[in-house]
Amino acid sequence: MRDNNSMDVSKIFYSLILIVFVGPTTLYAQQEVVSNNLYVSDTDDLLTIKKISILPALDNIGGIYSRPLEKHISEFIDHNHHWDLVEPSTIGPLYAPTDLVDDPQKIMNLNIPSDAVVSSQVIKGPGGINIKMALFLTRDGKLFAEDEVKNFKQFDVDKINEQAEILLHRILKKIPYDALILSRDGNRVTLNLGQLDGVKANQVVTVVEIF
């Protein structure tokens, strides 16, 4: 799904990335460490996501699904070495993903010290469970990516959490790179990629920088 507020990543893709070839798999790395003479666009800075916050999740049955879901996806981010989990520092109004899509200023007003926030909502209806999840960039408050599950027929909390994790994983895969460059010394580049990402010991990785 795409909203008018969402970013058309395809139009800026090739100006932002470092391409990393790992065997038969192509990975993408966002450049973090740059020289003073290298121009970094505002869009490049906008899409550099290091810290993610999980907003309070909502449901229509008194938090039975939303509280465990929020805890589960927070732990998913916290245990992922690509991102740092930042707890929201203030308590404010609770918003559904659709509320934030319609008004990006709501994200800006939260003043959360992260690069992106995840909003989610669970609705139990006659056809089953509907889960909606969205990722917003905090710098401009705009929707980056969203996904949803409709009419899920299982009502167990653990099953709902599994679906939420799948949604979050799919949303995060829409970020147009797979790793950040942590340091660079000549031709030696350190990425935040490891065995958990499928990288093997002594594997040759070629990094190509595109300006």
CATH number 3.40.640.10 is the correct assignment for the domain at 51-172: no
pLDDT the model gives residue 188: 72
Average pLDDT over residues 69-94: 90
**pLDDT confidence of 88, banded at 50, 70, 90?**
confident
Instruction: Give the least confident one: 80-84, 94-98, 123-127.
Output: 80-84
pLDDT the model gives residue 190: 73
Average pLDDT over residues 56-76: 98
Average pLDDT over residues 74-82: 94
**pLDDT confidence of 203, banded at 50, 70, 90?**
confident
pLDDT the model gives residue 8: 40
In the chain, the percentage of residues whose pLDDT exceeds 70 is 67
Q: Which residue has the higher pLDDT, 27 or 120?
A: 120
pLDDT the model gives residue 11: 35
pLDDT the model gives residue 185: 76
Looking at every residue in the chain, the average pLDDT score rounds to: 79
* pLDDT for residue 105 is more than 60: yes
Q: How many CB atoms lie within 10 A of CB 21?
A: 13
pLDDT the model gives residue 205: 64
For 149-165, the pLDDT digits (tens) are: 999 999 999 999 999 99
Average pLDDT over residues 185-189: 72
Nearest-angstrom CA–CA distance, 99 and 160:
22
Nearest-angstrom CA–CA distance, 24 and 208:
16
* pLDDT for residue 3 is more than 80: no
Average pLDDT over residues 126-148: 96
Q: Domain map of the chain by residue range? A: 9-46+176-209, 51-172
